[in-house]
Structure 1
Amino acid sequence: MRNLKNYNLTLLSFVIVNLLLVGLDNYLALSMDKLNQKTFIKLLPLSSIVILSTIILNGALSSNLKYKLVFLKVKNPLPASRLYETLNNDYRVTIDQISEKYGPIPKDPKQQNIYWYQKIYKPNQDSEKVYDIHKKFLMTRDMTAICFMIFMFSIVYTLFSGTWLHMVVIFIELLVIREVAANYGKRFVCTVVAESI
């Protein structure tokens, strides 16, 4: 089975950009004439720090908390927990088609997720379309979590530095990425259903 979470390079790039926004730009703002062997040796530990930061930031929050950040739901935050509502907004399939093939969709949000996962997702998880959208969803979900953590650090940094522009930029970025992840989550659920019909 292919690795859905094979997007570490993207997350690493994302962390680098955000760390630059928070304040490492002062550390890296070197003019070309100062770029010499000694400078490179000083910067070597920075690359290790960024790689470790990416691993730590991505692992600091549980999957459940990441889903809560993306969907802004405390109870039943998984994307298929709103299966009935999500499918009502999809033009490719109807609720009747799903009910006819898999039985009626439960009313309870937790049961909706179980229904979707066991009856619809598991048999179709190897579809190329499902794999692609699932990977995009997980990547943007993780980017949302990392952005949230960096935003928290930027608040502390702002208290000591007195500059707040980077904090506003990261907050806007967090809102945009969260929305993208939520959209990918809904598309993931709908794509699985469409592939199953």
Structure 2
Amino acid sequence: MLEADGGQSAALIHIPGMKSRSDALKTANIKWLVMLAVFDAAVVLFFVAPELVSASTMAILRASSTAVLPVAVLLLTGALSHDAKARLVNWRIANPLPGGRVFSEYAPADARIDIKALTKNVGALPTDPGEQNAKWYKLHRLVGTDPAVAQAHKLYLMYRDIAGMSLLLIPLVPAALWYAGAPLASRWIAGGLFAVQYVVCAISARHSGTRFVCNVLAVHSTTRVKTNPVQR
């Protein structure tokens, strides 16, 4: 349950499983990933390889946006593990998850978070990256349904998946254009477009991830959160 600093109880909160919550957020993001895939395909066809465009090709593209592309997007984003995607957006090999630096780096720099109040509400704050992420994860389980936390989580997953998808497309699209007979300049332009898209989305994912982990601590710094002992 939620308790204010004075110890007064509020209503019990439901704490769904982390896996189902993340899956729901990813499902909600699929339409944006598909829309981006359609846009990317249109850019490649119209601006990179106009000689490949035909009425039948565009008709297939429009039809695939509702049938084939969602599957293709899931395959591309599912080809990378969670840690691999975190490394791609945070550009760190060891401890790439944003929760690994939340107490030592992000929280002290966030004006919304009172470190003394946070320590009072959740206990000692670890400094080891692995311990930081583990403790943050437990805290996230308690407030994952908070609107600000859920929205930041959704944005982080969306940008992270787009970045991962974009990185995979950097070699795949030029290779497909080469196979289709597109000129060398078109292949370089396509690779460059997806490289820019990857960098922009990786930076956006990094900022969204920082906001996400800090939103969790912002809640805990103002409210003492306790689980309902009868919940599983």
Tell me which interval the TM-score lies in, with the shorter structure as reference length: 0.7 to 0.9
Which residue of structure 2 aligns with residue 20 of structure 1? 42
- Inter-partner Cα distance in structure 2 for 1:45 and 1:12: 11
Structural RMSD (CA):
2.5
Q: What's the counterpart of residue 109 of structure 1?
A: 129
Aligned counterpart, 2:213: 189
Question: Counterparts of 2:127 and 2:35 in 1: how far apart (Å)?
Answer: 41
1:173 aligns with 2:173: no
Distance 2:144 2:39 in 1: 33
Aligned to 1:149: 168
State whether residues 137 and 184 of structure 1, in contact with CA within 8 Å, keep that contact through their aligned partners in structure 2: yes
| Separation in 1, partners of 2:94, 2:30 | 29
Query: 2:120 corresponds to which residue?
Result: 100
Identify the range of structure 1 (99-108 vs 41-50) with the bigger mean alpha-carbon deviation.
41-50
Matched residue of 2:33: which SS? helix
Contact 2:38 2:61 in 1 (8 A): no
Deviation of 1:19 (Å) = 2.9
For 2:135 and 2:191, the matched residues in 1 are separated by: 41
User: Is the Cα–Cα contact under 8 Å of residues 158 and 167 in structure 1 kept in the other structure?
Assistant: no
1:137 aligns with 2:156: yes
Q: How does 1:73-88 map to 2 (within 5 A)?
A: 73-83=92-102, 84-88=104-108
1:68 and 1:77 in contact (8 A); partners too: yes
How far does residue 44 in structure 1 lie from its aligned partner after superposition? 6.9
CA 1:19–1:41 in 2, change beyond 3 Å: closer, same or farther?
A: closer
1:172: how far off? Answer: 1.3
Question: Structure 1: where are the runs of 5+ without partners?
Answer: none
Offset, 1:80: 0.7
Unpaired stretches in structure 2, ≥5 consecutive residues: 1-15, 223-232
Contact 1:22 1:157 in 2 (8 A): no
Alignment of 1:61-76 (within 5 A): 61-76=80-95
| Per-residue Cα deviation, 1:10-36 (whole angstroms, up to 9, x for no partner) | 111111222334458547733xxxx4x
Contact 1:18-1:150 within 8 A present in 2 as well: no
1:11/1:104 CA distance change after superposition, 3 Å: same
% identity of equivalent residues: 26
Mapped pair 1:126 → 2:145: yes
Any idea what the Cα deviations from partners look like across 1:80-116, whole Å, max 9, x if unmatched?
Answer: 1011201122110132222222122111101000111
TM-score scaled by length of structure 2 = 0.72
Structure 1 residues 19, 101: closer, same or farther in 2, change over 3 A? same
Letter in 1 for 2:97: L
1:53 matched to which residue of 2?
72
Cα drift, residue 132 of structure 1: 1.0
Q: Which of 171, 184, 204 matches 1:162?
A: 184
Q: Structure 1 or 2: larger helix share? A: 1
